[in-house]
Amino acid sequence: MSTSVLFETWPTAGRQNIAVATLNRPASLNGLTLEMCRSLSRQLARWEADSSIALIVLRGSGEKAFCAGGDIRELYSSVLANVGGRPWDNTLARQFFETEYRLDYAIHTCAKPVLCWGSGIVFGGGVGLMMGASHRVVTESTRFAMPEISIGIFPDVGGTWMLGRLADGIGMFLALTGAQLGAGDCRFLGLADYSIDSSKWTQLRHILDEQPWTDARRENDIRLDRALRTFESDPDGGVLPGPLQNHYTLIKGLCAGPDFDAICENLLSLTEHEDAWLRRAAMTFREGSPGSARLSFELLKRVRRMSLADAFRQEYTAVLQCMAMGDFPEGVRALLIDKDKSPRWNPRTLASASNDWAELFFTPSWPQGAGHPLADMEQRTHFAG
């Protein structure tokens, strides 16, 4: 039996139980594999249908990460093995992204409260798991980011939908720079609901075990909220403003609007800024994939009026193309395989990553006449409140 995800139930003082899923690959920062996504999807469905389960907890093993994203080495190998190069022929990639996106959507629409303990690294696919949880916790060690520009793809797992709903310019900045956010900025942007010291986990578990949980969703939401708030030092989460909050007005001014070239120039101007966090963000953008920058820009433009399901469908179309004709394999090679940190991006420059070039990524890659693989996504029952 695989131990990459551990499932358990905690008995409580009432007649209900708490279900817990622990990502259990600490040596890989709990990176998600296809097997893990399938296992989580199956178990989440069982727990959602189980009247004895009051709420669901998602957490990661080890102290370093909740989840650092998808297992990009696994995806990299699948791209190299796809000698024909056609997106749909990469069976692992199309199955992985379909399974992962369906899992993330199921968390968003789960009929029971979902508590995500987002301590440590929360990157990429980890953001996808955390974003849809009804009760999202960050800690003093949280490092939250969508760093896909450094490996030649874009903020997926519903990331475009999430970033597209932030204030104009803020989501674009995060997509193009992969900038890391701590607890303060996550709370400020509404990307987390509670900030709790990581040392309080054991105490929190005891409090949750003592609650008189019922089978009423709204009552359980309220009880969980009250329990989590008892560990916050003040109503604002007990955290100091982060660098994004400190530079919020500047970032909005630099990254808002429809002019891709102007946004790029503005970001490059920050490479000499006195603030180290802004300089690092600008350097990541400068060294990242120009194609990823353009594709992220186009995706965020299109997603603003989309439903979450439509955003996932758009991302699925684009990410399969990225596995075939984008910079993903070169980004992974330079970062993780050869570790030379000298990717040979194609397109090589921002100027050559044109709008017409990006349009290619919105071409369906599945067999002609077949429907979108995520066409039925909205058939899930949504929690109505």
Tens digit of pLDDT for each residue in 5-64? 999 999 999 889 999 999 999 999 999 999 999 999 999 999 999 999 999 999 999 999
Banded model confidence at residue 2, pLDDT cuts 50, 70, 90: confident
Catalytic residue among 69, 125, 132, 152: 125
298 in active site? no
Average pLDDT over residues 120-144: 97
148 in active site? yes
d(CA 97, CA 207): 36
Residue 384 maps to a domain: no
pTM: 0.95
Residue 85 maps to a domain: yes
CA distance to 201, 207, 380, per residue, from 53 (Å): 20, 17, 19
Catalytic residue among 48, 71, 104, 148: 148
The pLDDT, as a whole number, for residue 385 is 35
331 in active site? no
Residue 385 maps to a domain: no
Residue 24 maps to a domain: yes
Helix axes 91-108, 308-325, angle to 10 degrees: 160
State which residues form the domain around 46: 5-379
Q: Is 257 left (phi over 0), alpha (psi -120 to 50) or beta?
A: left
Residue 75 maps to a domain: yes
Is 382's pLDDT higher than 70? Answer: no
356 in active site? no
**Beta pairing, strands 121-123 & 114-118:** unpaired
Catalytic residue among 31, 60, 69, 70: 70
**For the domain that residue 129 is a member of, what is the CATH number?**
3.90.226.10
Residue 211 maps to a domain: yes
Banded model confidence at residue 79, pLDDT cuts 50, 70, 90: very high
Domain count across the chain: 1
- Residue 212: how many other CB atoms lie within 10 Å: 13
Residues 118 and 136: beta-carbon distance below 8 Å: yes
Residue 347 maps to a domain: yes
